[in-house]
């Protein structure tokens, strides 16, 4: 073990001052110590040797009832991939996986519990596949064990899309493999033809080579290239000439002419060029389609809700899948659980955090009989609620059924397609002209010249340029922690002229509300009294105040006559003090007027009937937001701000972002969606930057929706791209870089036009020998790929040095 600062936890590396230790090893909490003990007992301490303090802080992961729903058979069937006698396979998503130690521990789980037969992690997807014996360990116990060692699985409905994706990937790899095999063999077998002076030298071996080539080219034509034909056909049926159409035509023409030459024994054909170009284009598509496996871009609301819910039936707690939750049922929501459907509160009171749904910052206290909306998170004690609407019809889920969202986005054709159309038109013009020319001079050369033109000048170089450039740009953006869903997002970014920001969680940091006291100085005993009173209430703001004082004074004193008034505040007697903490109106109703002029979210404090001061609740803005907005404005973007929160922060925002920005507050998810719609109907192309479920509609509707996330890609609503919160200040540079993609493509495409002109020179003279084609094709392909990589790198270096 390397030396480490004494004050950090041996398990998770958190600062610790408590005296929890085993043989000189310090721990920050009992939780971490317990995890260590478990690993120690099972001889798994190598976990701590592989990396420094690898553990995940074990805070609150011991709520075992949380997973009771996993005992339900329907839910188990959804999760378990397949089951055999004494064996079940299950895959979990564990976002906490971050280092070598994680992999090591997770793959050695079988040492802790004999019921686990084998576990295998996928680091990049952050997934674990576990094979276990259901007779020895239940699914619930398995999840509890994972949570205990710090890897709490994220279990949600509809998380099995990856199976489909896998199959597509495999098919693509097969096509590349077969094309590569055929291409390389055809090339080898073509050498004798190119290098021999005339047919005589090869003698009767020549037909052997040529027919073998023909045989090898069949899988390329019928299997590897099938994607181009299908895409061209679907395009043509929609009366649209996409880039695949001229490519498919070129492949067919090349193949037919080669077959014709071979059968008439007039030549060897261009089979090597044909299979080569198919191979390169497939590799290009594969390179561009690099996907970020651990991200889910297409989540709908179902992925945010828990799988199961606890229902009370004749005083019995029953776990059932969320989808079976009926109207009128009594649901039990425990602390930190999500409200699964709209309902009425049966319990006395609830404290619900709606920040994810509405963007409101502070949790809200809700009284008996009031409505609870799906998506809120209960922050206090367990509550009972009566379900009034099934899951699919809740306020938040209705948004997904909005007709505004039904329209497909980014259906606009890429700028590449019009280019390829012009290209095709010019190509046909040249082919016809040369055909016409030869019909006057030497009719025998019409067919060779026309087919040669079509062979040489297929827009495959355009396709190669585009796929490799987008592939490079996507990768670089990914390195800068902006993960795009696909290449069309980059093109959509080009056209953006308006950027709309959400406030909570986007401009401000998630879960970083700060509290500060301002007012008359407080004595030690007063502070102690306040701390003791606020500790009694479960209200999050009250808890925050208690936390605020816990660093200033030690211990607690006895509190008498405590009175919590819902939605207002707390009144209590403590020692010699009469303490009142609550809203302005709460104090005013007791005849106390506030004596300050702070505007914003706050809690007031009065002692013995005298106003003392306020606790200001402030947001922490992300670093560099004001620079980011200024730089975006400089580049000519219109900036808007939409917030679901109250306008209390408006002055701060004006100072931070400038006064020329339209700001809208108290926006419902639907308002945000309509606002984007309104901007678009004015002809703007809108980028929405948001984070929560409340932005989901707007993200979906906008031309480019970027979801900002802080906790490594948990809970991002459906979006086109995912940006890590710490990189928010880089957004301007990232947009600039993605705009460079078009420039790179233009540059390289002009180069490939030069190649085409050379090829055209030979083709129109009906002099295109297979050898010229065989030389020109790899040279142009390889130089395009190399240049694309080089330019992408140069531009990225330039933008990096600027920052």
**Least separation, in Å, of the C-beta of 97 and another protein?**
10
Cβ closer to another protein: 186 or 357?
186
Between the alpha carbon of residue 354 and those of residues 25, 129, 384, 593, 697, the distances in Å are 40, 34, 18, 30, 16
Query: Residues near 593 by Cβ (< 8 Å), separated by ≥ 6?
Result: 587, 611
**Least separation, in Å, of the C-beta of 278 and another protein?**
16
Cβ closer to another protein: 158 or 219?
219
Report DSSP state, residue 444.
G
Both tokens of 276, joined, read: 């080569």
Cβ closer to another protein: 294 or 674?
294
Matching residue, tokens 């991002």: 716
Q: What distance in Å separates the CA atoms of residue 768 and residue 761, rounded to the nearest whole number?
A: 9
Q: What distance in Å separates the CA atoms of residue 92 and residue 162, rounded to the nearest whole number?
A: 12
Q: What distance in Å separates the CA atoms of residue 618 and residue 639, rounded to the nearest whole number?
A: 23
Please report, as ranges, the residues that interact with another protein according to CB under 8 A: 46, 50, 87, 100, 103-104, 107-108, 110, 117-118, 120-125, 131, 166, 169-170, 173-174, 177-178, 181, 184-185, 188-189, 203-205, 208-209, 212, 216
**Least separation, in Å, of the C-beta of 169 and another protein?**
8
**Least separation, in Å, of the C-beta of 128 and another protein?**
10
Name the packing angle between helices 524-536 and 540-550 (round to 10°): 150
Cβ closer to another protein: 205 or 754?
205
**Least separation, in Å, of the C-beta of 402 and another protein?**
37
Cβ closer to another protein: 100 or 790?
100
**Least separation, in Å, of the C-beta of 181 and another protein?**
4
Both tokens of 543, joined, read: 């808890």
Both tokens of 228, joined, read: 């181009």
Per DSSP, the three-state class of 687 is strand
Residue 757: Cβ-neighbour burial (10 angstroms; 0-12, 13-18, 19+): exposed
β-sheet with 377-378: strand ranges across: 364-367, 349-353, 377-378
Cβ closer to another protein: 14 or 117?
117
Name the packing angle between helices 625-634 and 650-657 (round to 10°): 50
**Least separation, in Å, of the C-beta of 485 and another protein?**
20
In 3D, which of 529, 646, 638 has the Cα closest to residue 581? 529
Cβ closer to another protein: 46 or 767?
46
**Least separation, in Å, of the C-beta of 170 and another protein?**
6
Q: What distance in Å separates the CA atoms of residue 157 and residue 321, rounded to the nearest whole number?
A: 9
Cβ closer to another protein: 200 or 440?
200
Cβ closer to another protein: 51 or 677?
51
**Least separation, in Å, of the C-beta of 152 and another protein?**
20
Both tokens of 475, joined, read: 């990768």
Per DSSP, the three-state class of 596 is coil
Q: What distance in Å separates the CA atoms of residue 720 and residue 295, rounded to the nearest whole number?
A: 11
Cβ closer to another protein: 206 or 334?
206
Contact 253, 427 (CB under 8 A): no
Report DSSP state, residue 505.
I
**Least separation, in Å, of the C-beta of 177 and another protein?**
5
Cβ closer to another protein: 129 or 633?
129
Q: Determine the distance from the C-alpha atom of residue 261 to the mean position of all C-alpha atoms in its chain, rounded to a whole number.
A: 52
CA angle 523, 524, 528 (to 5 degrees): 120
**Least separation, in Å, of the C-beta of 38 and another protein?**
18
């Amino acid at each position: 073990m390397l030396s480490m600062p004494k004050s950090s936890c041996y398990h998770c590396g958190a600062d610790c001052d408590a005296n929890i230790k085993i043989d000189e090893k310090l721990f920050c909490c009992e939780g971490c110590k317990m995890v260590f003990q478990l690993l120690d007992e099972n001889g798994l301490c190598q976990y701590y040797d592989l990396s420094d303090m690898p553990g995940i802080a074990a805070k609150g992961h011991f709520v075992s009832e949380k997973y009771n729903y996993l005992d339900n058979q329907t839910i188990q069937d959804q999760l378990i991939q397949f089951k055999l006698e004494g064996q079940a396979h299950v895959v979990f998503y564990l976002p906490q996986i971050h280092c070598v130690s994680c992999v090591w521990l997770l793959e050695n789980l079988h040492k802790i519990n004999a019921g686990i037969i084998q576990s295998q992690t996928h680091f990049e997807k952050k997934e674990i596949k576990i094979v276990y014996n259901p007779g020895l360990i239940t699914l619930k116990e398995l999840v509890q064990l994972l949570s205990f060692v710090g890897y709490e699985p994220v279990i949600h409905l509809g998380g099995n899309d990856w199976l489909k994706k896998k199959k597509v990937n495999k098919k693509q790899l097969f096509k590349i493999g077969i094309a590569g095999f055929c291409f390389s063999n055809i090339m080898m077998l073509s050498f004798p033809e190119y290098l021999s002076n005339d047919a005589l030298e090869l003698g009767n071996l020549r037909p052997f080579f040529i027919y073998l080539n023909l045989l090898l080219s069949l899988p390329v034509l019928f299997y590897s290239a099938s994607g181009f034909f299908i895409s061209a056909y679907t395009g043509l049926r929609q009366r649209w000439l996409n880039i695949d159409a001229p490519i498919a035509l070129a492949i067919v023409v090349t193949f037919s002419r080669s077959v014709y030459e071979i059968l008439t024994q007039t030549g060897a054909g261009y089979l090597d060029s044909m299979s080569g170009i198919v191979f390169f284009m497939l590799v290009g598509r594969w390179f561009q389609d690099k996907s970020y496996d651990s991200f889910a871009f297409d989540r709908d609301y179902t992925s945010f809700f828990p799988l199961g819910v606890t229902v009370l039936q004749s005083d019995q707690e029953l776990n059932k899948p969320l989808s079976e939750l009926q109207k009128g049922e009594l649901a039990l929501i425990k602390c930190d659980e999500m409200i699964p459907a709209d309902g009425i509160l049966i319990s006395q009171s609830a404290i619900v955090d709606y920040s994810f749904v509405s963007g409101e910052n502070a949790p809200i206290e809700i009284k008996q009989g009031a409505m609870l909306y799906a998506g809120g998170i209960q922050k206090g004690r367990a509550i009972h609620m009566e379900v009034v609407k099934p899951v699919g019809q809740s306020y938040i889920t209705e948004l997904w059924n909005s007709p505004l969202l039904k329209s497909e986005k980014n259906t606009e054709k890429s700028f590449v397609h019009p280019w390829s159309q012009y290209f095709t038109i010019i190509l046909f013009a040249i082919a016809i002209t040369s055909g016409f020319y030869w019909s006057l001079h030497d009719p025998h050369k019409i067919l060779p010249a026309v087919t040669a033109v079509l062979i040489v000048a297929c827009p495959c170089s355009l396709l190669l340029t585009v796929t490799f450039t987008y592939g490079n740009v996507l990768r670089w953006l990914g390195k800068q922690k902006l993960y795009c869903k696909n290449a069309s997002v980059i093109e959509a970014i080009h056209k953006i002229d308006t950027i709309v920001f959400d406030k909570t969680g986007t401009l401000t940091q998630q879960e970083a509300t700060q509290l500060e006291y301002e007012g008359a100085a407080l004595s030690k005993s007063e502070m102690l009294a306040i701390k003791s009173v606020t500790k009694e209430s479960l209200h999050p703001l009250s808890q925050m105040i208690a936390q605020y004082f816990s660093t200033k004074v030690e211990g607690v004193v006895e509190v008498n006559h405590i009175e919590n008034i819902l939605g207002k505040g707390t009144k209590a007697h403590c020692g010699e003090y009469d303490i009142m903490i609550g809203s302005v109106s709460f104090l005013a109703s007791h005849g106390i007027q506030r004596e300050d002029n702070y505007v914003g979210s706050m809690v007031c404090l009065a002692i013995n009937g005298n106003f003392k001061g306020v606790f200001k609740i402030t947001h922490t803005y992300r670093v560099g937001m004001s620079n980011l907005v200024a730089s975006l404005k400089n580049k000519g973007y219109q900036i808007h701000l939409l917030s679901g929160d109250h306008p209390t922060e408006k002055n701060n925002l004006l100072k931070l972002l400038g006064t020329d920005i339209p700001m809208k507050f108290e926006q419902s998810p639907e308002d945000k969606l309509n606002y984007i719609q309104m901007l678009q109907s004015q002809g703007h192309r809108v980028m929405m930057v948001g984070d929560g479920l409340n932005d989901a509609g707007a993200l979906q509707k906008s031309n480019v929706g970027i979801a900002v996330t802080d906790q490594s890609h948990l809970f991002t609503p459906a979006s086109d791209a995912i940006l890590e919160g710490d990189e928010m200040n880089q957004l301007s540079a990232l947009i600039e870089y993605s705009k460079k993609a078009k420039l790179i493509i233009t540059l390289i495409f002009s180069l490939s036009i030069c190649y085409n002109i050379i090829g055209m020179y030979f083709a129109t003279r009906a002099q295109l020998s297979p050898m010229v084609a065989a030389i020109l094709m790899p040279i142009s392909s390889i130089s395009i790929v190399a240049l694309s990589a080089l330019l992408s790198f140069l531009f990225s270096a330039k933008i990096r040095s600027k920052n």
